[in-house]
């Protein structure tokens, strides 16, 4: 056996067995392969592999049953589940049952290598510590040595706050459509240790992109992050808004190109965070404390300003032609429950007159009757509003998300007039430019 370790691959597709075994062999691992869940249990007991790649669907025994049996035999087993047609509930169940990771096929070279290395580190920690890692600690394996996943940079306005850093209590998976790509997309959320920040990983290219304004590319209709190899992750603002409100400071998000739009709001992200739990970590978080007014302005009275304030508050004035009209709303982020009630349910919206232009730009392809508000000439044409002023509330939702791209929670009062994603990002860049990195 090689020094790197032994990997058991369980899949009923010969092509998967051959390809995955070849990838891992190239990396110096020994492999054993089987298409049977029953044989996998026998091989595990006899050969004691370091890591297992296990398909959800097997002809003789369900993959989840096999996972359970392996974990009963060895609570420290490092099992990576695989599926080409899994569902959200299946992925979540696998992670709750003790799977170290859940990957959708076809697996990329980088995914396979990262997963097996993470499994080895998990096994090592279980052996040296005399116990298993907690779910919130399991994310460590993916970030210990990767400089691209360092915490966000400090600068003059970053100061230690009084609140603790937070991550999620356990990994989970979400699936849905991308609002602008129209393609089915999925993402997994995984805990990270303190002082790591929020990071995205693109699938299947495995490009790592920090949730920071320096990564922002396009801001037309949504906020898109770009990686070094031109890989992108779009529509990050709704997820970041929920994370900002919940105080989650350390998180790994693996995603296929675009964050699922779900119902067009941040409400389902809030429900997910409540389901997996948000856990406090034994380190205080840092905050961006605004020291003086910063403002960006544009044509037709558009502006975005932030000024010193003991808290985080947003005031927004919105003005569109009827049937939307003029709306204003003031909101202060004091607790997650209030955010979930007043801001998170507000959905993204678009105008029927803009649909043709959006289609020409390749945007809005995922818009459906249940995931956005579509406004016609005289009325909302596809849904009932959740609030009479749902439009302006959604603008505040976007601001809360976009401003989290400073890398830290913000302490200041934001006043917005008719502004959008571009103004949000321009304001962050202004703050960094005038406050200085350091």
- Is the domain spanning 163-284+292-435 CATH 3.40.720.10? The answer is no
Q: What residues form DSSP beta bridges with 354?
A: none
Q: How far is CA 196 from CA 65, 88, 111, 429, in A?
A: 35, 27, 21, 22
Q: Where in the chain are the domains?
A: 6-133, 163-284+292-435
Phi, psi of 10, rounded to the nearest 5 degrees: -125, 110
Long-range contacts of 295-299 (CB under 8 A, 24+ apart): 295/427, 295/430, 296/423, 296/426, 296/427, 296/430, 298/419, 298/423
> What is d(CA 54, CA 179) in angstroms, rounded to the nearest whole number?
32
C-alpha distance across the termini of the chain, in Å: 48
Domain 6-133 class in CATH: alpha beta
| Residue entry with tokens 């990050």 | 236
| Residue entry with tokens 């005038």 | 434
Q: Which of 249, 323, 319, 328 is nearest to 281 (CA)?
A: 249
Q: Render pLDDT for 196-213 as a digit per residue (tens, 0 to 9).
A: 999 998 876 778 899 999
For the entire predicted model, the pTM comes to 0.75
| Residue entry with tokens 């040296």 | 128
Average pLDDT, the chain: 86
pLDDT band at 348 (very low <50, low <70, confident <90, very high): very high
pLDDT band at 407 (very low <50, low <70, confident <90, very high): very high
**Active-site choice (199, 286, 394, 421):** 421
Q: At 247, is the secondary structure helix, strand, or coil?
A: coil
Position 307 pLDDT exceeds 70: yes
> What is d(CA 361, CA 157) in angstroms, rounded to the nearest whole number?
38
Q: Determine if residue 329 is left, alpha or beta; phi over 0 gives left, psi from -120 to 50 gives alpha, anything else beta.
A: beta
Burial class of residue 130, CB neighbours in 10 A (0-12, 13-18, 19+) = exposed
Position 364 pLDDT exceeds 50: no
Q: What residues form DSSP beta bridges with 412?
A: 312
* Residue 308 contacts residue 412 (beta carbons within 8 Å): yes
Sheet strand arrangement including 198-202: 172-177, 184-191, 251-255, 198-202, 208-210
* Residue 402 contacts residue 243 (beta carbons within 8 Å): no
Query: What pLDDT score does 235 carry?
Result: 93
Is 421 labeled as catalytic in the residue annotation?
A: yes
Q: Which of 43, 45, 66 is nearest to 54 (CA)?
A: 66
Q: What share of the chain is helix, strand, coil (3-state, %, to 5)?
A: 35, 30, 40
Q: Which of 213, 218, 201 is nearest to 114 (CA)?
A: 201
Which residues, at least 6 apart from 343, have a Cβ–Cβ distance to it below 8 Å?
241, 245, 266, 331, 393, 396, 397, 400
Position 144 pLDDT exceeds 70: no
Query: What pLDDT score does 96 carry?
Result: 74
* Residue 225 contacts residue 200 (beta carbons within 8 Å): yes
| Residue entry with tokens 């406090």 | 280
Phi, psi of 328, rounded to the nearest 5 degrees: -140, 150
Q: Render pLDDT for 32-47 as a digit per residue (tens, 0 to 9).
A: 999 999 999 999 999 9
Q: Taking CA 277 as the corner, what is the angle to CA 276 and CA 282, rounded to the nearest 5 degrees?
A: 135
Task: Enter the tokens of residue 382.
Answer: 């596809």
User: Residue 145, Cβ neighbours under 10 Å: how many?
Assistant: 8
Q: Render pLDDT for 89-142 as a digit per residue (tens, 0 to 9).
A: 677 778 778 888 788 788 878 778 878 887 887 787 665 443 433 333 344 444
Q: What residues form DSSP beta bridges with 87?
A: none
> What is d(CA 223, CA 8) in angstroms, rounded to the nearest whole number?
41
Q: Which of 181, 200, 183 is nearest to 255 (CA)?
A: 200
- Strand 312-319, strand 326-332: pairing: antiparallel
Phi, psi of 425, rounded to the nearest 5 degrees: -70, -40
pLDDT band at 226 (very low <50, low <70, confident <90, very high): very high
């Amino acid at each position: 056996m090689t020094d790197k370790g032994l990997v058991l691959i369980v899949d009923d597709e010969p092509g998967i067995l051959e390809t995955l075994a070849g990838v891992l062999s190239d990396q110096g691992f020994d492999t054993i392969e089987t298409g049977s869940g029953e044989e996998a249990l026998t091989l595990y007991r006899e050969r004691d592999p370091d890591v297992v790649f296990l398909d959800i669907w097997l002809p003789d025994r369900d993959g989840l049953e096999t996972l359970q049996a392996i974990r009963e035999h060895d609570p420290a087993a490092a099992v990576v589940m695989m599926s080409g047609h899994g569902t959200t509930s299946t992925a979540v169940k696998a992670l709750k049952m003790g799977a170290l990771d859940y990957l959708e096929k076809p697996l990329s070279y980088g995914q396979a290598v990262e997963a097996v290395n993470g499994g080895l580190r998990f096994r090592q920690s279980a052996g040296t510590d005399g116990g298993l890692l907690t779910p919130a600690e399991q994310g460590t394996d993916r970030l210990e040595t990767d400089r691209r996943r360092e915490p966000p940079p400090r600068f003059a306005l970053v100061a230690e706050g009084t609140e603790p850093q937070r991550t999620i209590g356990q990994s989970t998976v979400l699936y849905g459509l991308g609002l602008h790509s129209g393609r089915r997309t999925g993402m997994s959320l995984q805990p990270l240790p303190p002082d790591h920040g929020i990071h995205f990983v693109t699938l299947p290219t495995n490009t790592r992109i920090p949730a920071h304004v320096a990564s922002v590319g396009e801001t037309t209709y949504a906020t898109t992050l770009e990686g070094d190899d031109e890989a992108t992750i779009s529509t990050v603002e709704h997820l970041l808004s929920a994370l900002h409100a919940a105080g989650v400071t350390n998180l790994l998000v693996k995603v296929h190109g675009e964050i699922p739009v779900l119902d067009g709001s941040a409400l389902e992200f809030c429900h997910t965070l409540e389901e997996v739990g948000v856990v406090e970590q034994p380190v205080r978080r840092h905050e961006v404390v605004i020291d003086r007014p910063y403002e960006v302005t544009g044509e037709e009275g558009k502006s975005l300003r932030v000024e010193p304030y003991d808290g985080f508050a947003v005031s927004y004035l919105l003005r569109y032609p009827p049937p939307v009209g003029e709306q204003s709303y003031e909101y202060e982020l004091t607790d997650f429950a209030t955010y979930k009630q007043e801001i998170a349910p507000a959905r993204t919206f678009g105008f029927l007159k803009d649909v043709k232009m959006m289609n020409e730009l390749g945007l809005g392809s995922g818009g459906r009757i249940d995931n956005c508000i579509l406004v016609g000439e005289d009325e909302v044409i596809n849904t009932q509003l959740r609030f009479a002023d749902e439009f302006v509330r959604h603008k505040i939702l976007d601001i809360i998300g976009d401003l989290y791209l400073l890398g830290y929670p913000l302490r200041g009062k934001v006043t917005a007039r008719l502004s959008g994603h571009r103004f949000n990002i321009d304001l962050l860049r202004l703050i960094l430019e005038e406050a200085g990195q350091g």
